[in-house]
Structure formats: C-alpha cells, structure tokens
Amino acid sequence: MTADPNRELLEIARRIAVAAGELAAARRAAGVEVAASKSSPEDVVTFADREVEQFIRRSLAEARPNDGFFGEESIDSASAGTSGLTWVVDPIDGTVNYLYGIPAYNISIAVVEGEPDPQTWRPLAGCVVNPVLGEVFTATDARGAHLGTKPLHVNPPVDLSQALVATGFGYNSDVRVKQGLVLAGLIGQVRDIRRIGAAALDLCYLAAGRYDAYYERGLNPWDHAAGALIAAEAGARVSGFGQAAAGRDFTLAAEPLLAALLEPIIRTLFDEAGL
C-alpha cells in the first residue's frame, strides 16, 4: 500500500502541536509575562509565544529540513524552503485568553503547498490543539476532519433565525467600534452570537457542530490556516466575499446553504459600517 504523504505530514503536525501545547500549558501554570505589544497596546505577545514558536520551528526543521516556515512571532525570519511546502504556525492563538487564564487558547500548525498566501496556497494538513481541554482537531486534504478519532461534520442547514454565529474583533479600537455596528445589525437576525477570541478554535468548533457559522475580518494566515482546512473538511464552505478565498479581507465559514444566506447580509452590514 502506498503511504499517504499528507497523512505523514499530519502526524508530524499532530506530534509537534501536542508537545507545544504541553509546553504552553506548563509556562501558563508557571506564570505569564508580557514580552511586547504588536499592532496596538491591546495586541500583546508573551515570552511563552516566542518560546513555543521556537520549539515548533526547531522541531519542524528536524523533521522536514527542506520545508519553509511562516510563524506569527518570526515573520521577519520566515524561510521559503526548497520543497514547495510551507508550515504556517500560530504558537499560541488566543494570547489574551492565555494571558488571563481563560481556557480557550490553542496551538495551530498547518502545512500548505505554495507560498504562505491564503489566496494561492493549497492546504494539505492541519492540527489545532487546545491543551487545557486536551482536544486535538485534525484534517488532511480530501480525507475529512476529526476531533481525536471522531469524524467531524458541520451542522445541517438551519433557518437564519436559528443560527448560532461566532465572530471575532480586531485589536484596533476604531475597527472594533465598526465591527460592533455589524454585530448590532446581525444579532437580531440570528439565534445568538459567540465570541471566544481564538480564530482557530472558532473554526474547529464550527466543524464540530458547536456553532452554525463563523465570520471575521482581519485574520492573518496563521490564524486560520489549520482551522479553515478542518472546517472545510467537515463540510463547511470557507471563503471570502464572492469568489475570493478566505483571508484578511473577510472569512466566512458555514454549512453552504447558510453561508449563502449570511454572506450578502454581512456584506451589506460591512458597507454600512464603513469596513
């Protein structure tokens, strides 16, 4: 039997993500210290973010020395590699949750074919680990998504009024105000809104049927590389507006019929809010 190369890539991602989660959890138990702010004073990075990414990068280099690396905490030193594959990594997604001890943070590792650009890449495998809950979400291209060994499937179609919708907000306060206007326009049309502050988990929770839909603007490649593959392999439509791929401009993930209902509504609300 011929080995599945994507399965082999997934096993590497899973092994390293679980170990990285154990390291992040140990550092959280020992106490978290802010290392710096990034895009705004609210957008923080901890010393643990940097240490966990260094661990992941070193581990991937040992396992796959010819692959590229693109991580949140080392953008300036991203490497292209020679294999045509790139690992896209968020060492601790949900850093503010991590800082406050909220059990909704994760390690996200994906491997894509091509450049680390959501508009052009082809995701091959991804793993998202919540070390607090011990949940390991995985997917490979065209092979489905799983939580542990359990296959994942998005919820069946629901009326818009019954849809539980998740979202996230940017770090810039002016942007958050506009996102709040979008939320105010949407919340009366759906069952309710959830916001946990970790995009990869949002996408995985959608895949697991814990939400009916998820949308957000401002996601970076590492925020959704693994989670978007997991959601798509669970049956979600994951896209931007129109024919665009999911990315920084917009990401919507939902069962396809529900996504078709939500997209024009959210687009109109974005326009009205000036986003």
User: Which residues lie below 8 Å from residue 144, measured CB to CB, with a gap of 6+?
Assistant: 151, 152, 233, 234
User: Is there a binding annotation on residue 271?
Assistant: no
Q: Is 72 annotated as a binding residue?
A: yes
Is 92 annotated to bind a ligand? Reply is yes
164-167 vs 213-216, strand pairing mode: parallel
How far is the C-alpha of 150 from the C-alpha of 136, rounded, in Å?
Answer: 10
Cβ proximity of 68 and 85 under 8 Å: yes
Burial per residue of 101-135, b for 16 or more beta-carbon CB atoms within 10 angstroms, e otherwise: eeebbbbbbbbbeeebebeebebbbbbbbbbbeeb
The tokens describing 163, both together, are 């849809």
90 annotated as belonging to a binding site for a ligand: yes
Is 263 labelled as part of a ligand binding site?
Answer: no
- Which parts are annotated binding residues for Mg(2+)? 72, 90, 92-93, 223
- Which parts are annotated binding residues? 72, 90, 92-93, 223
